[in-house]
């Protein structure tokens, strides 16, 4: 099989997997619940995906999820505004969530930022070691080019 | 995912043998690859998350490594495939020890949506040890340089 055909085949398979993951995921998300509140009333869901704590109250808190503010009824102990949160909650048709359990992802911002330097370092190592032949779009070792 | 310093430190520790010299950087890139082609998209735009569900899975990563190897000259493709995949599987192995509030990684995607993991630590926990890994690597490199100079 030629290189062009192999590349085309891999690209089609990868795109197919992305499409399958996008369209066939059986998990109910908060976005789906908010779009159809009656249909998903009483559904137990996992809420994560870059969800951020907004305001804290005595009996609950609000979160920022995909640009929307959502009220959560439940114990806010240990939460801090502006930190990432993942939680299990039951969706109510009113658009609110009833908290079952939560995990505050403290230091997630740090984790994201400290993950950048290793990637940049490896890219520098790679570019020092390999050269791209633009005519064939193939990398080869710089010291053997 | 643990932070990429932790992933990289494990990759560093495993590739001290001279056998890795020629393709060490490929192994390192494999070690960070599952997160590099997933996280930036939905961290910058969380609406893109559904499009990344498939990406951080073994099957997708295998196909991606096969694709990436096609962009190397023919004699390098086999070792690039091997080292890139080895790095990717080291990454997935470490991720397997994490815990999530409920659903973790989809190891059997697209054949199953079931998730399972050992659940030893939260994704943020290894960050506390990152300074230790960096200190150990710096100490090892310093000793190696001193030995080289004295030879």
Given pLDDT bands bounded at 50, 70 and 90, which one contains residue B103?
confident
* Cα(A93)–Cα(A121) distance, integer angstroms: 49
pLDDT confidence of residue B102: 84
| ipTM score above 0.90 | yes
Distances (CA, A) of A120 to A116, A140, B61, B81: 6, 20, 20, 21
Smallest CA-to-CA distance from A34 within A74, A66, A81, A76 is with A66
* Cα(B76)–Cα(B131) distance, integer angstroms: 35
In tens, the pLDDT along A16-29 reads 999 999 999 999 99
Note whether residue A13 is domain-resident.
Answer: no
User: Which of the residue ranges A36-40, A63-67, B59-63, B100-104 would you say has the lowest mean pLDDT?
Assistant: B100-104
User: Would an 8 Å CB–CB cutoff place B95 in contact with chain A?
Assistant: no
Domain region containing B11? 4-150
Cβ <8 Å between B124 and A111? yes
pLDDT confidence of residue B151: 78
Q: Cβ contacts (< 8 Å) between A87 and chain B: which residues? A: 101
> How many domains are contained in chain B?
1
Mean of per-residue pLDDT scores for chain B: 94
* Cα(B6)–Cα(B91) distance, integer angstroms: 10
Q: Is the pLDDT of residue B139 over 90?
A: yes
User: Would an 8 Å CB–CB cutoff place A27 in contact with chain B?
Assistant: yes
> Is B113 strand, coil or helix?
coil
The mean pLDDT of B50-79, rounded to a whole number, is: 97
Alpha carbon of B89: minimum distance to chain A alpha carbons (Å):
17
pLDDT confidence of residue A145: 57
Smallest CA-to-CA distance from A48 within B5, B50, B60, B95 is with B50
pLDDT under 70: residue ranges of chain A: 144-145
- The answer to whether residues A57 and A99 belong to one domain is yes
Better pLDDT: A91 or B104? A91
- The answer to whether residues A102 and A64 belong to one domain is yes
Give the CA radius of gyration of chain B.
Answer: 17
Q: Cβ contacts (< 8 Å) between A22 and chain B: which residues? A: 50-51, 53-54
Cβ <8 Å between B3 and A115? yes
Q: Domain with A59 in it: what CATH number?
A: 2.40.50.140
User: Looking at residue B98, what DSSP letter applies?
Assistant: B
The mean pLDDT of B123-136, rounded to a whole number, is: 93
Phi, psi of A102 (to 5 degrees): -145, 155
Cβ <8 Å between B8 and A118? yes
């Amino acid at each position: 099989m030629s290189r062009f055909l192999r590349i085309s085949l891999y690209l089609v398979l990868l795109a197919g997997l992305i499409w399958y993951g996008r369209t066939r995921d059986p998990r109910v998300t908060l976005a789906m619940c908010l779009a159809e509140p009656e249909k998903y009333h009483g559904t137990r869901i996992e809420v994560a995906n870059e969800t951020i704590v907004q305001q804290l109250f005595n009996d609950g808190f609000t979160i920022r999820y995909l640009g929307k503010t959502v009220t959560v009824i439940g114990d806010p102990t240990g939460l801090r505004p502006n930190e990432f949160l993942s939680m299990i909650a039951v969706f109510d048709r009113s658009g609110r969530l009833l908290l079952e359990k939560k995990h505050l992802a403290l230091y997630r911002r740090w984790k994201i930022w400290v993950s950048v330097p290793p990637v940049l370092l490896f890219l520098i190592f790679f570019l020092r070691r390999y050269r791209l032949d633009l005519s064939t779009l193939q990398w080869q070792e710089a010291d053997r080019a | 995912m643990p932070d990429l310093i932790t992933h990289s430190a494990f990759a560093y520790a495993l590739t001290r043998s001279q056998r890795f010299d020629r393709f060490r950087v490929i192994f390192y890139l494999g070690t960070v690859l599952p997160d590099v082609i997933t996280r930036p998209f939905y961290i910058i735009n969380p609406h893109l998350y559904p499009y990344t569900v498939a990406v951080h899975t073994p099957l997708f990563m295998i196909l991606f490594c096969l694709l990436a190897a096609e962009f190397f000259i023919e004699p390098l493709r086999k070792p690039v495939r091997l080292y890139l995949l080895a790095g990717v599987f080291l990454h997935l192995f470490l991720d397997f020890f994490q815990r999530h509030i409920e659903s973790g990684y989809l190891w059997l995607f697209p054949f199953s949506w079931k998730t399972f993991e050992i659940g030893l630590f939260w994704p943020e926990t290894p960050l506390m040890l990152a300074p230790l890994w960096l200190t150990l690597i710096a100490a090892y490199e310093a000793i190696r340089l001193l030995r080289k100079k004295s030879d």
